[in-house]
Each structure stands twice: as structure tokens, then as C-alpha cells.
Structure 1
Amino acid sequence: MARSCSLKSLLTVFVFTIFAVGSVESIQCIAHQCTNETCPENPDVCTATKGCFNHIQKFDTPSTDTDQMFKHKGCFEENDACKELEFSATLGAQRRFTYVNRCCTNDTCNQDDITLSPPPAEANGVQCLSYYTEPGMLNIPTLLNCTGNETKCGLVIGTAVGSSNLFPLVMAGMGCATESACNLSVTVFNNTNIHTFCSDEFIVSPTKPSVPDSTGSAGNMGFQPTAISTVPILITLLLLKVLF
């Protein structure tokens, strides 16, 4: 009698499990990766159990020839596999990086491309030291008037993904950033790990003498010359921190 009850219990659990697994609702998502404006006209479709993600990265430079764009859409299967994140940073040498990742849970909810708004022109009152360099490129630190919600002053270090070099520096920059851009470690364009640091020490003090701003004219606020001369040293120290 006890054996019969045990078998019935196991059968009940088995049937319930099959029913539960079979009742999991699937979600259809658009799936593709593309660079710049070249995206497939007929993208693939993937099936997810949790939801879809929609991702875009954009790096604006003084020339459209060096601008970069990366779009990625697809499925995620775990609740914590998709994390929403939006940030931007405006660096020296007229470089601006924007990053947006969004998650959704309806069929083809990631079909439409994310539209990035142009940076606002009105200054927000924050002024940061700006700087940008790549291997073989020289740049002089200047002042940058921050706009919109870029209310933090930060530093960005970019290192090559999977590089065997001791110092795989791809880029380094300083400038204005959104608060969401502070103290991050993310991979961008599938080939660069960026590490960001924000500090009140980077904010320009109105009590210090003026230095040329990003337009070449003297501003009302500025860093002392000794502070400007330490920018490469600061970047080197933070690169060492990132790598070791």
C-alpha cells in the first residue's frame, strides 16, 4: 500500500513538472550586430524565456571618417543577464562617447533602433579639465564647459581586450560625464575595456588661475599649471591600478 502511494506521488510530481516546463512562455526578439550604419535589412529572430535587449554605442569625433557606431540586439535567458545602463562622457579633442543598454519583455520589443539625442548646448555650470590621447597622439589639457546631465568630472582608461602587451593602452581621456558613467568597467565595440573614475579633484576650482579652454581662449576658472603637467602621470598611475 505504501509503495503504491509513493508511485502515485512520483507520478504526480512528474506530470506537474512536465506541465510547468511546457507552460513557460517564449518571447521572440530581434537578433543582430552591426557597426556604423550598416545593419541587416532582414535581421534574425531569437527565442527567449526572459526577454530582449537593445544596445547601442556611439563615439563621436571631429571627423565622420573616425566616428564609430555599434548596435546589438538579442535575447537574454536569466533575470540578471540584462542590466539597463545609460551614460555619456565628453572628453578632450572633441570626443564624445554614448552608451545605452535597455531590456524589455514583450515580443519583438527591441525591434526599433534606439535614438540618441544630440548633446544639449546650454552649460550646466560645471567645468572640467579635458584631455584625450591615443598611442601616437598628443593632446594639451584644456577646460571644458559641461552641458546637460554631464555633471561629473571623470577620467577614462581604455585597454585592448585580450592583448598580451604589458601596457595595452588604447586611449585615455578626461572630461565631463554623467553620474552613471562613474566608476565603471565595461567592454565597448567588442575590443576595448574601458575603466572610468570620477573625482571632485578633477573639478575646476574658480579660485585657481585661468588656462586656455577647449576653444583656445582663457576661461574664468582653471587648474594651476602644475596640475595640468601631472595629467599624463595621473593617467599612468590609474592605468597601473587597472592592470595590477
Structure 2
Amino acid sequence: MAHRCPNASCPAQLRERILHWGGRGAMDIDGLGDSLVRQIVEQGLVEDLADLYELDHATLAGLERMGDLSARNLLAAFERSKARGFRHALYGLGIRFVGGTVATILAGDFASIEELKEADRERLEAIDGIGPRVAESVVAFFGRPENRRVVERLLENGIVFRRPAGDRRGQGPLAGRAIVLTGSLERFTRAQATEAIEALGGRVAGSVSKKTDYVVAGADPGSKLDRARSLGVEVLDEAGFTALLEAR
């Protein structure tokens, strides 16, 4: 389990935060293992996540069990991690209650971390899949100046905290709409339906809640259809879904 602390520079937990940042679900930095992290923390070479990207070859090569080749490989891994993507970087920050799924939701709803860090609880709780606990944690994290400074320095070092150019999620005619797919459609595979929704700026949610705008029900829809009806969420059959897409 990843250790999370609301203070991005908390010395007692820095080692765990770095390991979380470098993990496969986050920035996937090959070579950033426990032994190396222990050394750079104990020697005071890093005080926060952004310091990782300011380590140089000579410093790394001089560490125990490193050397020239290992240092070069690690620096290359740091460089590759910069383009890992918004959702991975957001998850890597270790914000409490922001696991991989929540990070994906937030990265799909906000175009960049600049937008996210200014969001209030009301804005966050309006997102399907984001409850009060997550909203409060995100607001608290970005409310701390030290965390904002670390994010700014990560941005300065080239970490990508925004959606790719051309990604229209949140920008098209279905912007802000959460749509749940359930059952089998005749004209669309699940991937095709998802792509069509996202191309118009909408977002496909995995579960039905009061924040869901539409449930698209195909054959054998299961419990999600029952849930939608109990909450009064608008249900579309395949013809209705097709009409929704074409009307936009």
C-alpha cells in the first residue's frame, strides 16, 4: 500500500513518497528502488519529489552500487517519466484517497493540474465518482503552499500535468456529462461507444449515481439499469444513444 501524507515535503515520509512516485502505477521510473532511495534521502540529496529531476550524473554515479552506466540509465528513466501523462503524475503525488481510478477520473474532467488545484469542494463533488472525502482531501492538498511549490517545480522540470493536445474530453457538446454503459449494443462495441462519447467531450463512468446523466442500456443490462431507474437517471436504448450522438 502506498503511503500518503498531505505534506509533500514531510521528511519522515519522504522515502515512501519517492517510492510511490517512481512506482509502475505512477511514473514507472526503472532503477528507483528502495536501496537507492534510502541513500539519496539519508544523504540529503532530495527534499521533495521535484529534487529527483535535478540530480546529476556525477552525484548518482558516486552512490553505492551505481556507477556510470546505472546513473545514465536512471537519468534516462527520469527523462522518460516526464511524459508519463497527467493521470499517472496525479496519482504519483500521493494525495490521500486519490488512487489510480480517482486520478483517471480527475485527469479526464480537468484539462490540467492548474485547473484542478483551483477547484473547490462543490466543483469536485459534482463529478461522478468523486465524493466528499476525496474532494476534501484534494482541496486540502492544494491548499498547502508547500505542495503547490512542489507541483510548480515539477512542472518547471517538464512533468506533464495536462491532457494531450487534441484530447477533447470536457470540451465537446457532451462536456460535463457522465454516461454509464451497460449491456450489449448491436452497432457499437464497448470501446467504440466509449470513443464516441469521449469524442464529444463526455465521460464514461463505471457506476450509476445521482451524478450520472445517462445510462445507455443494451441487451442484458443487469443491475445498473435497476439502479438508474431507482435514482431517476435517464435511460437510453441503443436508438436513443445513437440519436444523442447524431444530434450533437
- TM-score category by the smaller chain? under 0.3
Q: Between Structure 1 and Structure 2, which shows a larger proportion of strand residues?
A: 1
Question: Which is helix-richer, 1 or 2?
Answer: 2
- Taking CA–CA contacts closer than 8 Å with sequence separation of 6 or more, which of the two structures ends up with the larger relative contact order? 2
TM-score (structure 1 length as normaliser): 0.25
